[in-house]
Amino acid sequence: MDEDEGIGLQYENEVVITADEDLDDPFSDRTSTTALSTKSVTASILDYRQENGRTYHAYKDGKYVIPNDEIESDRLDLQHNLFLLTFDGRLGSAPPNDPGARVGRVLDVGTGTGIWATDFGDEHPEAEVLGFDLSATFPEFMPPNVKFEIDDLEEPWTYSRPFDYIHSRMMNGNSHLTPGGYAEFTEATIIPQSDDGTLPPDSMIVKTATLVVEAGKAVGRKVVEMPQVRDALLRAGFVDVRVSQHKWPINTWPRDHKYKEIGMWAHENVVSGWEGLCMATLTRIYGWGREEVMVAVALCRRELVDRSIHAYFRL
């Protein structure tokens, strides 16, 4: 499905954000920092590809075009806090995240730095939590009920026992769920949009995002809209499938305090991650030079701070 095909699809909830008319914003001076320590594993797996000033995973080299360096790890931890703000402090929307819920086996696919799995293990000491990813950017210290593995979600799964809750952004987990188990899929769009026409269609952030989406199609990695995921889950035999919508403003343009704060975190998330999103794709697929990418990213950042542009990413 094309990036813009899902815009007219109906979600269970409609989100409308009103713009703040006051362009002088106290949130703009706030910043956040995160720290990460990583686990020591075999030298071959940690022999990361170095390219254009960034590092990329060594296991299944080239399969994932987002960096795995400290800059990206910090961004992933920041993004985790953005999710917490979006979901009102919850780690997810599925019933296993309800207060007092007791969960058995939990799988976090594409665990990144492992922060979600670690937090879930802390909240649910009764659970057995496993997280896996292509890169070994896992924490050195973790709850005793949490462990991590390096693996590829697109390879055949070899787990001997099913899971009660799969937290994921993928399509092949249903056969590994216990009867009555839950799967939760979360994804954000790459191309931003606005409801009031304030996002110019020729903006650099739209241009670069569109190039990334088109490149994904060319190599068989299309952007998948959540309504499309819903239909696939229903065909696979899932029941009680629900799709909800959230919005991440590109900066603090909303009037509502909650969305203003979400916009502050979303802005940092996008600004710190846009180079990583674009660099490998634009240089490997389109033949751009590193300096050309950096100029484009700088133009994107200029647009991202403009509070007269009432744009957002759909989640």
Contact at 8 Å (CB) between 36 and 74?
Answer: yes
Return d(Cα 270, Cα 251) in angstroms, integer. Answer: 10
Confidence of residue 13 (pLDDT cuts 50, 70, 90): low
Q: What secondary structure does DSSP assign to 212-246, as a single string?
A: HHHHHHHTT-----HHHHHHHHHHTT--S------
The reported pLDDT for the residue numbered 230 is 84
* CATH, domain 33-186, list 3.30.70, 3.30.450, 1.10.8, 3.40.50: 3.40.50
Confidence of residue 49 (pLDDT cuts 50, 70, 90): low
User: In terms of C-beta density within 10 A (0-12 exposed, 13-18 middle, 19 or more buried), how is residue 49 classed?
Assistant: middle
Q: What secondary structure does DSSP assign to 12-71, as a single string?
A: SS----PBPS----GGGG-------------HHHH--EEETTEEE-TTTTTS--S--SHH
The reported pLDDT for the residue numbered 140 is 81
Mean pLDDT along residues 36-59: 52
The 10s digit of each residue's pLDDT in 79-115 is: 999 999 999 999 999 999 999 999 999 999 888 889 9
Per the model's pLDDT, the better-predicted residue between 138 and 213 turns out to be 213
